[in-house]
Amino acid sequence: MVSLRDDELRRPPAGAGVLRQSVTETIRRAMFEELAESGYARMSMEAVTRRAGVGKAALYRRWPSKEAMVVELVSEAAAAHIPTTTDSGSLHGDVERFLRETLRALRHPLVGRIIPDLLAESARSASLHDALHHAVLGPRRSAVATLLDRATLRGELPPDIDTALATDLFGAPLYFRMLAAGGPTDDAYVTRLTHAIVAAVTASR
């Protein structure tokens, strides 16, 4: 026989305490639009609620602060676009696929406005820097480390390769090209960049 207490524990939650996914998704879209339009420093929780058409309580039930909201939602979006680490069979193939998948994520219309702003704000806020580095950059650097370790096992890279320096080469050129210098990022560019990165990381063999 099921007791009332057991029944209550199994009953799906209801009422104001439920964080409806549809509301969360509406807030998520509003936050990214507001962040792209106003920038992190000028964006407020109140502005996000107005854009989303929800009350302040809907935000504060989910996040205690603007920083917590931005870090969680940006991290979730970034996690959905971490390059795959499936073995292509060669360092060249792994590098090229990593670059193409990274480039596809960077081409999102809001990314070019949000990423430079968050990088600038991170330079002024240690807590924001640490949170974004852990949640956004960390998984990407781990993905690169996996590719480098695999190439080392194949004999394509020396065992004593400077992994931190090599990892910088995978992302920095694309970020600089798209978000700072500008210029085409077509197939020909990705091919040239792939050759350049492979040549650089294998130079000490």
Distance CA 173, CA 166 (A): 12
pLDDT tens, the chain, 205 aa long: 434 444 434 444 444 445 688 899 999 999 999 999 999 999 999 999 999 999 999 999 999 999 999 989 988 888 877 877 788 999 999 999 999 988 888 887 777 788 888 888 988 889 888 888 887 888 888 999 999 999 999 999 999 899 999 998 888 888 888 777 777 888 999 999 999 999 999 986 5
Q: In terms of domains, do 114 and 83 share one?
A: yes
Distance CA 48, CA 19 (A): 17
Alpha carbon separation from 29 to 22, 24, 40, 67 (Å, rounded): 11, 9, 15, 16
Give the range of the structural domain holding residue 130, as residue numbers without chain letter. 78-201
Alpha carbon separation from 39 to 120, 130, 137, 202 (Å, rounded): 10, 19, 20, 40
Joined tokens for residue 43: 């964006």
Q: In terms of domains, do 106 and 153 share one?
A: yes
What angle in degrees, to the nearest 10, is found between the helix axes of 66-79 and 138-154?
30
Q: In terms of domains, do 19 and 97 share one?
A: no
Asked if residue 118 belongs to a domain, the reply is: yes
What is the total count of domains within the chain?
2
Q: In terms of domains, do 58 and 30 share one?
A: yes
- What's the predicted TM-score (pTM) here? 0.76
Give the domain CATH number at 48: 1.10.10.60
Q: In terms of domains, do 54 and 118 share one?
A: no
Asked if residue 68 belongs to a domain, the reply is: no
